[in-house]
């Protein structure tokens, strides 16, 4: 009898080891759906150089903590209580689904950056429809995972009492300890049920409320140069896809005419401040760039303390407007805070029920109304357009379909086979959202004694050879494709003497818009220089241009040849 019981215990031990190994393998496989194989890459990264004992020890710490963390899934799977098993099963499936879809969209899986991006874009959740193919694949893969877990539970005969769930937190604890002990370990490299709650908790634990931005009392402007200043920030407009900049399709024929007549000054293709909307909008709002005083020595502190353009405008006696046609009424986005809005006299957003291609026209009507009816002598209007925000099919009316064939639905995956249709659809948006919009703007808006700076928050990458993922923008890999920050820069001024004239031997970038705004408001050179050169000066041709791709100040060199 004793021998028989010993054999049963032996078989049970083998069963446990087999199932544990299976769950470990499934977890690693599910983290390798995207191109970035987190588990293997983490081991390789931590253990290099391989002859260094400390490096190998780091890899072992990660490996052991990872293996222990899988015990959570195993404990749940052998739970005796069917009700508790089903509850935790839903949790496991949801966390894996989130991670799998994140991998399919951008290869990274669920990370600190992914979560931050989700929070910043939460108000545009309906635009996730463009990722329906990835979401559908995520549902399918999660369904296969469900079948696997049900099979494991049926195969394993061992069951444990619900009271053993008290040890569940101890499967998370080694992960936290490993991260504290080895700084280079990334939470994102663990299995989804473990990392998702830890990343979310860590994000909110380390998130610091944005303190009110302060403009020093001794910063006092002189006489302003222009009474009405308008900054138009378009969405997802690639400067390389404007025919005014050499694109081989007539996407901006009317703008070309305006340039010839002298109504528009074209600075050509330049780089934006960042490759993602939220950070790019922030850099434009506060003048943050590698040229900004303090940005190179303490990026985060500088990013959090720089005063906004609205504060400078109010100090200079301007009435201020923010027109944002992307967001719903009463919404704050792109790191805009309640404190920032204290310096915005009027904040206009679209009603929620409006067709997407009409959003910018609605904002344009608001600009026309302001310039026609508001009696304030000095005005600053910041107009954040909806532009070419994806899905592209939603951003132009059917009768403005000029370039064909286009996408049949917004659900088509961004793959090489669909690239022509994707770009055709996008160029139709450019024709409508840029060319037709600016034509209407110049013809219908009273631009006397007004200067307008036009640019975009970021560009678009369409399966570029240098890309590390298939995202059009917001890549957080080191050195994202420069196409993601390739944007236009135009200056519109109806004055007899033009001041903004680009020189062929100079370099320009979006970073120079903020100091140019300060110049127009009458601020002294000393204050302007804190933010770099204006568009009147430019930089030497050999100067390097940089853009940011993280809120921590990670940046990459802009390589314009790669973006054309």
Please report, rounded to a whole number, the percentage of residues in the chain having pLDDT higher than 70: 92
Of 554, 556, 530, 551, the closest CA to residue 282 belongs to 551
pLDDT tens digits, 383-442 = 999 999 888 988 999 999 999 999 888 777 777 888 899 999 999 999 999 999 999 999
Count of positions (residues) in the chain: 564
- More confident call, 210 vs 563: 210
The model's confidence at residue 218, banded by pLDDT at 50, 70 and 90, is very high
Tally Cβ neighbours within 10 Å of residue 477.
17
Average pLDDT for 31-35:
79
Distance CA 473, CA 462 (A): 9
* pLDDT attached to residue 536: 94
User: What is the arrangement of strands in the sheet containing 228-234, beginning at the earlier edge strand?
Assistant: 264-271, 486-493, 450-456, 228-234, 379-384, 319-324, 346-349
Of 96, 511, 454, 456, the closest CA to residue 259 belongs to 454
Distance CA 191, CA 65 (A): 11
The dihedrals phi and psi of 184, each to the nearest 5 degrees, come to -75, -10
The model's confidence at residue 39, banded by pLDDT at 50, 70 and 90, is confident
- More confident call, 370 vs 5: 370
* pLDDT attached to residue 5: 42
- More confident call, 111 vs 63: 63
- More confident call, 184 vs 104: 104
Average pLDDT, the chain: 87
* pLDDT attached to residue 449: 85
* pLDDT attached to residue 322: 96
At residue 1, does pLDDT exceed 50? no
Average pLDDT for 43-64:
81
The dihedrals phi and psi of 332, each to the nearest 5 degrees, come to -110, 135
CATH class (in words) of the domain with range 228-563 = alpha beta
* pLDDT attached to residue 204: 85
Q: C-alpha dihedral over 40, 193, 98, 325, to 10 degrees? A: -110
pLDDT tens digits, 322-348 = 999 988 666 678 888 888 999 999 999
pLDDT tens digits, 471-486 = 888 887 677 889 999 9
* pLDDT attached to residue 397: 93
- State the angle between helix axes of 53-77 and 38-47 in degrees (0 to 180), rounded to the nearest 10: 150
DSSP string covering 252-298: -HHHHHHHHHTSEEEEEEEE-SBSSHHHHHHHHHHT-STTSTTTTT-
pLDDT tens digits, 65-114 = 999 999 999 888 888 899 999 999 999 999 999 999 988 887 678 887 77
The dihedrals phi and psi of 73, each to the nearest 5 degrees, come to -65, -40
- More confident call, 50 vs 53: 53
* pLDDT attached to residue 11: 42
Distance CA 416, CA 30 (A): 25
535 CB contacts (<8 Å, ≥6 apart)?
267, 489, 491, 500, 502, 508, 512, 513, 516
Asked whether the CA dihedral 291, 206, 280, 224 is positive or negative, the reply is negative
* Secondary structure of residue 331 in the 3-state scheme: coil
b (16+ CB within 10 A) / e for 266-292? bbbbbbbbbbbbbbbbbbbbbbbbbbb
At residue 4, does pLDDT exceed 50? no
Looking at 78-131, list the stretches that DSSP marks H as alpha helix, in order from N- to C-terminal side.
82-106, 112-120
- More confident call, 467 vs 527: 527
b (16+ CB within 10 A) / e for 28-66? bebbbbbebbbbeebbebbbeeeeeeebeebbebbbebb
Highest mean pLDDT pick, 56-70, 147-161, 195-209, 404-418:
56-70
* pLDDT attached to residue 495: 62
Looking at 389-482, list the stretches that DSSP marks H as alpha helix, in order from N- to C-terminal side.
419-430, 437-444
Highest mean pLDDT pick, 20-29, 65-74, 423-432, 544-553:
423-432
Element (H, E) at 447: none
Of 443, 545, 537, the closest CA to residue 492 belongs to 443
* pLDDT attached to residue 334: 85
User: Cβ distance 343 to 314 under 8 Å?
Assistant: yes
Bridge partners for 451 per DSSP: 229, 493
* pLDDT attached to residue 564: 41
- More confident call, 257 vs 560: 257
Distance CA 232, CA 490 (A): 10
Structure tokens, 177: 């300890």
* pLDDT attached to residue 454: 98
* pLDDT attached to residue 561: 65
pTM: 0.78
Burial of 385 (0-12, 13-18, 19+ CB in 10 A): buried
User: Cβ distance 482 to 271 under 8 Å?
Assistant: yes
pLDDT tens digits, 450-470 = 999 999 999 998 887 776 677
Please report, rounded to a whole number, the percentage of residues in the chain having pLDDT higher than 90: 54
The dihedrals phi and psi of 321, each to the nearest 5 degrees, come to -130, 145
Out of 108-112, 190-194, 220-224, 286-290, pick the least confident: 108-112
* pLDDT attached to residue 66: 93
Structure tokens, 324: 């944002």
* pLDDT attached to residue 51: 62
Tell me the CB-side half-sphere exposure of residue 150, using CA atoms within 13 A. 9
Element (H, E) at 12: helix 2-30
Structure tokens, 330: 């009463």
pLDDT tens digits, 116-145 = 777 776 666 666 777 888 889 999 999 999
Domain span(s) for CATH 3.40.720.10 in the chain: 228-563
């Amino acid at each position: 009898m004793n021998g028989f019981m010993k054999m049963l215990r032996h078989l049970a031990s083998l069963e446990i080891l087999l199932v544990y190994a299976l769950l470990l393998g499934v977890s690693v496989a599910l983290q390798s759906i995207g191109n970035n194989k987190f588990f293997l890459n983490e081991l390789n990264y931590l253990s290099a150089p391989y002859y260094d004992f400390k490096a190998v020890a780091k890899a072992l710490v990660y490996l052991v903590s990872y293996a222990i963390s899988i015990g959570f899934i195993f404990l749940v799977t052998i739970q005796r209580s069917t009700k508790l098993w089903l509850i935790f099963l839903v949790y496991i499936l949801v966390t894996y689904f989130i991670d799998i879809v994140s991998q399919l969209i951008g290869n990274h899986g669920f990370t600190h950056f992914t979560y931050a991006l989700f929070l910043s874009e939460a108000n545009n959740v309906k635009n996730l429809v463009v990722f329906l193919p990835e979401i559908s694949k995520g549902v399918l893969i999660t369904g296969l995972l469900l079948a696997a877990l049900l099979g494991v539970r049926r195969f394993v005969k061992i069951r444990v009492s619900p009271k053993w769930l008290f040890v569940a937190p101890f499967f998370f604890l080694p992960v936290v300890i490993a991260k504290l002990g080895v700084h280079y370990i990334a939470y994102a490299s663990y299995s989804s049920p473990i990392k998702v709650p830890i990343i979310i908790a860590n994000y909110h634990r380390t998130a610091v409320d944005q303190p009110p931005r302060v403009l020093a009392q001794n910063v006092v402007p002189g006489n302003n140069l222009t009474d009405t200043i308008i900054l138009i920030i378009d969405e997802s407009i690639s400067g390389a896809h404007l025919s005014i900049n050499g694109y081989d399709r007539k996407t901006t024929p009317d703008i070309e005419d305006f340039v010839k007549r002298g109504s528009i000054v074209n600075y050509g293709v330049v780089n934006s401040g960042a490759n993602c909307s939220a950070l790019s909008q922030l850099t434009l709002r506060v003048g943050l760039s590698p040229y900004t005083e303090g940005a190179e020595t303490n990026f985060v502190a500088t990013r959090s303390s720089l005063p906004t353009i609205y504060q400078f405008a109010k100090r200079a006696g301007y009435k201020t407007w923010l027109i944002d046609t992307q967001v719903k009424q009463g919404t704050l986005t792109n790191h805009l805070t309640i404190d920032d809005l204290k310096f915005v006299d009027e904040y206009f957003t679209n009603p929620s029920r409006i067709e997407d291609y009409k959003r910018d026209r609605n904002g344009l009507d608001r600009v026309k109304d302001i310039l026609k009816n508001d009696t304030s002598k000095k005005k600053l209007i910041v107009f954040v357009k909806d532009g070419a925000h994806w899905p592209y099919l939603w951003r132009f009316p059917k009768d403005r379909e000029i370039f064909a064939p286009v996408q049949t639905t917004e659900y088509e995956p961004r793959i090489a086979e669909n690239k022509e249709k994707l770009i055709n659809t996008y160029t139709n948006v450019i024709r409508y959202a840029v060319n037709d919009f600016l034509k209407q703007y110049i013809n219908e808006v009273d631009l006397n004694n007004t200067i307008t700076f036009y640019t975009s928050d970021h560009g678009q990458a369409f399966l570029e050879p240098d890309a590390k993922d298939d995202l059009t923008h917001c890549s957080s890999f080191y050195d994202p494709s420069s196409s993601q920050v390739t944007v236009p820069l135009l200056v519109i001024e109806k004055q007899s003497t033009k001041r903004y004239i680009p020189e062929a031997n100079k370099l320009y970038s979006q970073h120079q818009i903020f100091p140019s705004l300060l110049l127009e408001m009458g601020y002294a050179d000393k204050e302007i220089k804190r933010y770099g050169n204006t568009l009147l000066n430019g930089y030497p041709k050999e100067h390097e241009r940089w853009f940011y791709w993280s809120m921590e100040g990670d940046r990459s060199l802009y390589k314009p040849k790669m973006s054309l």
